[in-house]
Structure 1
Amino acid sequence: MRDVARQVMADEETTSADLVPAMCGFVYLMVPEIQELIRRAPLGDVPAQVAQVAVDGACRRVTTPPGIGPAAVRRHARKVAMAVLALCDHYESLSSAADGANTP
């Protein structure tokens, strides 16, 4: 997931439009997993609240149309890629916190 998102972020010349559906698929795969980790977090847990904001933003990114023209498509692809990278970070953060809470 990260490799595809990094590829889109590094791509300055092409539109990467063919990778947007894959990244949207990544978002749709990660969102339920992260939401479950958020539900398991203690009430008022700041990392969980920040992750929820990232989930909301990622969902918004994948449902927003890219606009007209190659520059708009490239910007949209980069925004979705940033959302994927953020979700990966939040998943790792919340997973390690959940694992740490379960260890005696």
Structure 2
Amino acid sequence: MDVTTSTETAPPDLATMRDVARQALADASASDLVPTMRGMIDLLTPQVQALIRRAPLGAPSATLAQVALDAARQRFATPAGGFGPDAARRRARLIALSVLSLCDHFENLGGQA
């Protein structure tokens, strides 16, 4: 049996990712979408990293994409508890912004969805 492996992954469904992120920005129960958005960021991260590596050294678009990846990681590293009754919603909104940002950087760096 010949089993081949591929380093290529299926292109992300950016339209769906953006729809979910926009829903999280508009919905009071945005924190319910955090696990879904985490999966989206987990899917986009290696693909954006690969595009960054292919970009010319010092390319502003690659630098900005790296900043966006770092921000997304930081948002998940921050404890979900936070302060105040609206902390979970605020965190979910920040994560939604990271999803939107990574979708944009994926496209700007030449990723094909």
Q: Given the two structures, how large is their TM-score scaled by the length of structure 1?
A: 0.84
**Aligned positions, number:** 95
Structure 1's consecutive aligned runs of 4 or more residues displaced over 6 angstroms after TM superposition are none
The alpha-carbon deviation at position 83 of structure 1 amounts to: 0.5
Question: Does 1:32 pair with 2:46?
Answer: yes
The alpha-carbon deviation at position 17 of structure 1 amounts to: 1.8
Residue type of the partner of 2:109? L
Instruction: Give the conservation status (yes or no) of the 8 Å contact 2:18–2:103.
Output: yes
The alpha-carbon deviation at position 15 of structure 1 amounts to: 3.1
Instruction: Give the conservation status (yes or no) of the 8 Å contact 1:15–1:77.
Output: no
What are the ranges of 5 or more consecutive residues in structure 2 without an aligned counterpart?
1-16
Identity across the alignment (%): 56
Q: Given the two structures, how large is their TM-score scaled by the length of structure 2?
A: 0.78
What are the ranges of 5 or more consecutive residues in structure 1 without an aligned counterpart?
100-104
Within a 5 Å distance, the mapping from 1:47-66 to structure 2 comes to 47-66=61-80
Residue type of the partner of 1:24? R
Structure having the higher helix fraction is 1
Root-mean-square deviation over aligned CA pairs: 1.5
The alpha-carbon deviation at position 70 of structure 1 amounts to: 4.0
